């Protein structure tokens, strides 16, 4: 019997669904989830020794590919010097400096251990700073598993079609107002109704959790304008987009500056790391400088810090963005060509090195249109590719990622295998 299946069965007795995060169970696409043995560069191997070209890239952090030598040796060096101090270390100062230099709107930053912690803390800070309680989020956006942000969320919640999550009291969910993405009119109407009761808007500047959905022209600018008008804060959840679209994230890419930015994924170079940051005036409200409390035993962990520092330095020194965009473009146009030839309805949304294949005519501009994708075709496509050694997100409402380790030859091989896979669809 397949070792992946044997181990998954064991795991299911020990961990809910046999996983530490729901999407890893491959529930929406059927078939056995793979159990990983190792990974290097653009490749990942399961416990059977089967090799895959990896476009999941750990859900986004691995822009340098798996086990990049520069990052790995920094972690090894640091490990000899201690794994955690629970006190400030010099690497925090260095990474904070890099973040402040690179992200246009960030003057001060607080490190945490995950993207979820970053968004949870950012919301608290926005409420503490404004003294208001309502939060606006967008349908199909996902900001981690924070109570008040898990309302009509994308990512795994959308994938498993969970309408709402038990365990979140109505009183808390009621403080979150959910609006359609790319719909400024709805935002305006909501502010007219709630006026000065809205603490903040939180938004993925490029949605990545209903599949990739770019902001329409004027959407982010409009959010900036409205929040300024009503004295609410604008929070960009850049956990996926930071250092992915450009060195300065989506805020640099689109030229719109939020008040608070949530970071993660690439920031930690594959180690657990999140952060939130923004203008000094706002960040100085965070304890111990100010009254808004937030803490963490492992926050600023030296292993995560050095992994983040080396990742950012590598990106600064090599500026891989144009090459990544072109390589991704070659992959997406190749996929589109193959699907068109086969007469399979599809739309591919790409922003730089992240993209999603939707099985619908499109355009896909919000969660309503993303949901038109034929999930049955998606599942078949996923399984056919997995069988042929191509791994991407086992969920429609996520992104594919390329890394600097992916080569032209990888893309050629991927297209060849996709061509073969769709023959059977
Ligand atoms: N884009 C969503 C994620 O990266 C989360 C992955 C997970 O739920 O494990």
Name which residue sits closest to atom 6 of ligand 1, judged by CA: 59
Half-sphere exposure of 114 (CA within 13 A, CB side): 7
What was the pLDDT predicted at 161?
63
ipTM of the complex: 0.97
CATH number for the domain formed by residue range(s) 3-55+320-423: 3.90.1150.10
Q: In the structure, what pLDDT confidence band is assigned to residue 163 with cuts at 50, 70 and 90?
A: low
The percentage of residues in the chain with a pLDDT greater than 90, rounded to a whole number, is 93
The percentage of residues in the chain with a pLDDT greater than 70, rounded to a whole number, is 99
Spacing, Cα 197 to ligand 1 middle (Å): 31
Q: How many CB atoms neighbour CB 294 within 10 A?
A: 17
Residues β-bridged to residue 354 = 351, 401
Spacing, Cα 146 to ligand 1 middle (Å): 13
Closest CA to 58 of 405, 420, 391: 391
d(CA 382, CA 386): 6
Residue with tokens 């496509």: 381
Closest CA to 335 of 245, 405, 425, 272: 425
What was the pLDDT predicted at 59?
98
Task: For strands 176-179 and 134-138, give the pairing.
Answer: parallel
Q: Which of 165-174, 293-302, 387-396, 397-406 has the lowest mean pLDDT?
A: 165-174
Spacing, Cα 59 to ligand 1 middle (Å): 6
| Domain regions of the chain by residue span | 3-55+320-423, 69-317
Whether residue 137 lies in the annotated active site: no
The topology (CATH level 3) of 69-317 is: 3.40.640
pLDDT value at 1 more than 90: no
Residue 122, both tokens:
């950012």
What was the pLDDT predicted at 396?
97
Q: Tell me which of 52, 134, 152, 265 is the catalytic residue.
A: 265
Q: Which atom of ligand 1 is nearest to the CA of 156?
A: 8
Q: What is the pTM of this model?
A: 0.97
């Amino acid at each position: 019997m397949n070792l992946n299946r044997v181990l998954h069965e064991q795991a299911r007795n020990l961990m809910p669904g046999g996983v530490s995060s729901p999407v890893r169970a491959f529930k929406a696409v059927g078939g056995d989830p793979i159990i990983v043995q190792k990974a290097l560069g653009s490749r990942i191997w399961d416990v059977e020794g089967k090799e895959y070209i990896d476009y999941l890239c750990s859900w986004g952090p691995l822009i340098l590919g798996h086990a990049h030598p520069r990052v790995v040796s920094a972690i090894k060096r640091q490990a000899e010097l201690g794994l955690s101090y629970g006190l400030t270390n010099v690497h925090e100062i260095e990474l904070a400096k890099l973040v402040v230099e690179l992200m246009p709107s960030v003057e001060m930053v607080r490190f945490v251990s995950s993207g979820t912690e970053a968004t949870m803390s950012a919301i608290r800070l926005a409420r503490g700073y404004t003294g208001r309680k309502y939060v606006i989020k967008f349908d199909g956006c996902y900001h981690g598993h924070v109570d008040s942000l898990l309302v009509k969320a994308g990512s795994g919640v959308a994938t498993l079609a969970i309408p709402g999550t038990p365990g979140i009291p109505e009183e808390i969910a009621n403080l979150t107002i959910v609006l359609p993405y790319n719909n400024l009119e709805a935002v305006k109407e909501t502010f007219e109704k709630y006026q000065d009761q809205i603490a903040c808007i939180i938004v993925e500047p490029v949605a990545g959790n209903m599949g990739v959905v770019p902001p329409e022209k004027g959407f982010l600018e409009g959010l900036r304008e409205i929040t300024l008008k009503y004295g609410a804060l604008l929070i960009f959840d850049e956990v996926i987009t930071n250092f992915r679209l450009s060195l300065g994230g989506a805020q640099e890419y689109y030229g719109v500056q939020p008040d608070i930015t949530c970071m993660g994924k690439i920031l930690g170079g594959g180690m657990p790391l999140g952060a939130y940051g923004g203008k000094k005036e706002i960040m100085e409200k965070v304890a111990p400088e100010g009254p808004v409390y937030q803490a963490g035993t492992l926050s600023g962990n030296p292993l995560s810090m050095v992994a983040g520092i080396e990742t950012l330095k590598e990106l600064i020194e090599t500026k891989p963005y144009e090459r990544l965009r072109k390589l991704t473009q070659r992959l997406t146009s190749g996929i589109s060509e193959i699907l068109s030839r086969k007469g399979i309805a599809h739309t591919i949304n790409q922003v730089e090195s992240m993209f999603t294949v939707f099985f619908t005519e499109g355009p896909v501009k919000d969660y309503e249109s993303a949901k038109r994708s034929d999930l049955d075709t998606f599942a078949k496509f996923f399984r056919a590719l997995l069988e042929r050694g191509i791994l991407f997100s086992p969920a429609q409402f996520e992104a594919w990622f390329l890394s600097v380790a992916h080569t032209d030859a990888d893309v050629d091989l991927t297209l060849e295998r996709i061509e073969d896979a769709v023959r059977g669809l």
